[in-house]
Structure 1
C-alpha cells in the first residue's frame, strides 16, 4: 500500500515498513505472495477490438491516469505529457497534443473540453475536437485524480485537501472548498463526480461531501469511515475511489472503513457495511461491487447492503476497482489480466491478459466496449462475447 504523509518523512515510512517486515514470521511473509491463478470454466470471452500505445505511465508516482469518453472519442494521457484522442469504435487517432510536462491526474471530458493536470497543480483544458489549448489555470497543489466536467464547471481535487470549481469556458476560479487533512493518508485522492448540478467528492478524512457545482456551497457531508486505533497507520480512512451516483443514491467506500449507500439529496444513510478499499465501487444487476485491499471481490445488495457473495480466488493480486460490463463484473490485476465474474454468484467465468504490466487504473465502460489502460501504457478496447 502506498502512503503520503504530511507529518512523517518518506524515510520514516520506509523505516517503519522495514521494521514491520522484519518482525513478521516466515509464514506471514509467504502469505504476501499473490495467489496463483487456476483453471476456470470460461463462459465468456473478452475479445480485443483494438489497442494503442499512449506513452509511459509513471508507476513510481502511482499515476492513475484514467481515460475519459465523450463525443464518440476516448481521450487518454501519458505521464510524459502526451494527450491523445481516438475514435471510440476503431481506435483511429484523431489528434495528439504534446504538453511537455509530466501529467498526474486522469482526463476529464465534457462541454467540448478534455481537461488534464500536472504535478505542479497546473490545469490545461484542450478543445475536444482538435486538441488545441483553450485555457490554463494554476491550482494550489498537485492533482492526482481526474477532473469532473459538467454544469458549466470543471472540478478538481488537490492533495492539500482542496476542491476547486473552475469556469469551463474561461478557466477562472468560481469557488474553492477546503477540508482538514489527517496526518497520514494514502497516495491519491478521489476523482469528484458531477451529477444533477451537484459535485460529489470523497475526502482523505473519510467524509463524502456534496456541493453545488456552480458556487461550491455545501449541500451536505457524511462520514463514510471513522478512524480507529491509536497508531496513525490504523487511522488511515481515505476515500480514494470516485463516488457512484445511481438515481437517488450515492455509493462510496473507504480504506479501513465502510462501503455506504447515501441519499443524494441530503446525505442520509441507507446502509453501511465494514469494508476496506482504495478503489471505487460499481453498481449493476441489483448489487454494489467492491474489490477490497486484500484482493477479495464482494457484491452487496443495493437495497440493504447485505453481502450477496464474496470471491477470494484473486487474493493479493493487487486488483483494480470493479467495472460492471455487459452483465458481468470485471477487475484487472498486477500481471495484466482482466478477470470476469458472474454478478449473480461471483464465479470466475472469463480471463484475458491484455499486457504484461499491471492493470490498476480504473476501467472504463461505454456501451458495448470496455476500455483498459495498463501500467505499460497500452490502451485496449474489448467486447464481451458469450461462449
Structure 2
C-alpha cells in the first residue's frame, strides 16, 4: 500500500501497513507476513531480451518513475535526475541527460518530446532524439505521476489537486483545472491519459473526470467510489491507478471503492463492482484484471463486471498492477518475482524472478515485449515463451 498524506498540511505520514505491523502481537504479525510462494508447474516463461541500470529509485518516497515508449525509444528516469533513452529492441543507450534534480514523476513521451518532473513541481521537456532541454514549466504542487502527452498538449496532475495543460511545443500554459481534495489521501496520483481529444484523469476524491484536451473544459465527471465510514482512514477512496481506455470504454478502480466500466464519450456507467486497489487495472481476453490491496488478483467479466475468478495465493506480497501480455496476466511482487496467470482460470502457469527488489512501478507492454523497472533501478525487457 502507498503512503498516506494529509492534504491540509501536505505532510506525509507513515504507511498504514507499517503502523499496523508495529502494533501487532506475535500472532497478529503472522497474519501480516507475505504469503510464502508454493512450487508450481510452469508451462510458460519470460525470457530476458536485454537489461540496463537506470539509476536509483526513491522507494521510501514511493516514487513511481514509470518509463515511457515513443518512436522505438524507451525513456526511463531515476530519482537522481538521470534521464536515459534506450533502443526499444536492443537496449542500446541512445542518449543520457543528467538534470541534477530529484525527479518524482514518471516519464511522458510522445510528439517528439520526453517530459519529467521533480519534487518542486517543475516539469522539463527533453528532445526525444537528442535529450537536449527544450522547455520547463513550474506548477503549483508536487508531481508524482507521469505526464500525459498527446493531442498537442502535455498534461500534468499535481498532488494539490490540479490538472494543467501545456502546449507540447513551447511549454506555455493553455489551461488549468482545480479539483477538491479530501482530508486524507494515499501518497501518489494517477497518471492522466489522453484519448480521442479528451484528458481522462482519476482523482483523490474517488472521481473520474474527462476534460477537453484543447481548453480543459469538462466533458463529464463520474464518481467511482463513495467514501464510507466515520473515520478518515475509512473514507480514503483515491484513484491512484491510471484509467485504461479500450475502444469506447474507460476502466478504472479506486482504493476502498469500486472497479467500473464507463462510456468514454459521456461517462455513463456500464457496470460497477466493489473493489480496493491503488493500481491501474488491465484489460484483455474478455476480462478486467485487478490486483487487490490485500494481494488477491481478480478477473471481472468485461461485459457485465461479474467476477469470473480470483487468485488469493499472493496475499500480502505487495503486488504491482497487472498487465495483459501475450494472452497471459502478469503481476510483480515485493521480492522481484513476476507471476504468470492463466487469464481464463487464474491459475499460475509460470514464475520468473527478475530482481531481488520489489516490482511496484507500472509495467509497460509494447507488442511482443514487456518492460519492467524494479525499485533498485533495474530495467528489463522480456519476451514471452511457452515451455
**Offset of residue 16 of structure 1:** 8.6
**Offset of residue 6 of structure 1:** 2.4
* Aligned counterparts of 1:7 and 1:216: Cα–Cα separation in 2: 26
The farther-off stretch of 160-169 and 22-31 is 22-31
Any residues of structure 2 matched to 1:90-129 within 5 Å, and which?
A: 90-129=90-129
Q: Cα RMSD over matched residues?
A: 1.5
* Aligned counterparts of 1:244 and 1:175: Cα–Cα separation in 2: 23
Structure 1, unaligned runs of 5 or more: none
Cα distance change of structure 1 residues 386 and 19 upon mapping to structure 2, 3 Å threshold: closer
**Offset of residue 10 of structure 1:** 5.7
Preserved contact between residue 4 and residue 16 of structure 2 (Cα < 8 Å):
no
- Structure 2 counterpart SS, 1:31: helix
- Structure 1 counterpart SS, 2:234: helix
Preserved contact between residue 106 and residue 145 of structure 2 (Cα < 8 Å):
yes
**Offset of residue 14 of structure 1:** 4.8
Correspondence for 1:50: 50
Cα deviation, 1:77-114, whole Å, max 9, x if unaligned, reads: 00000000000010000000000000000000110011
TM-score (norm: length of structure 2):
0.97
**Offset of residue 285 of structure 1:** 0.4
Correspondence for 1:270: 270
Any residues of structure 2 matched to 1:50-199 within 5 Å, and which?
A: 50-199=50-199
Preserved contact between residue 21 and residue 32 of structure 2 (Cα < 8 Å):
no
Cα distance change of structure 1 residues 10 and 111 upon mapping to structure 2, 3 Å threshold: closer
Cα deviation, 1:141-167, whole Å, max 9, x if unaligned, reads: 100000000000000100000000000
- Structure 2 counterpart SS, 1:60: helix
* Aligned counterparts of 1:382 and 1:94: Cα–Cα separation in 2: 20
Cα deviation, 1:182-208, whole Å, max 9, x if unaligned, reads: 000000000000001000000000000
* Aligned counterparts of 1:344 and 1:18: Cα–Cα separation in 2: 35
Correspondence for 1:5: 6
Correspondence for 2:328: 328
* Aligned counterparts of 1:374 and 1:219: Cα–Cα separation in 2: 37
Correspondence for 2:344: 344
**Offset of residue 27 of structure 1:** 2.8
Preserved contact between residue 51 and residue 91 of structure 2 (Cα < 8 Å):
yes
- Structure 1 counterpart SS, 2:283: strand
Correspondence for 2:304: 304
- Structure 1 counterpart SS, 2:29: helix
**Offset of residue 26 of structure 1:** 3.6
* Aligned counterparts of 1:95 and 1:9: Cα–Cα separation in 2: 36
* Aligned counterparts of 2:305 and 2:158: Cα–Cα separation in 1: 31
- Structure 2 counterpart SS, 1:46: strand
* Aligned counterparts of 1:18 and 1:270: Cα–Cα separation in 2: 37
TM-score (norm: length of structure 1):
0.97
Moved over 3 A (4+): 7-11, 13-26
**Offset of residue 4 of structure 1:** 1.0
* Aligned counterparts of 1:291 and 1:142: Cα–Cα separation in 2: 26
- Structure 2 counterpart SS, 1:106: strand
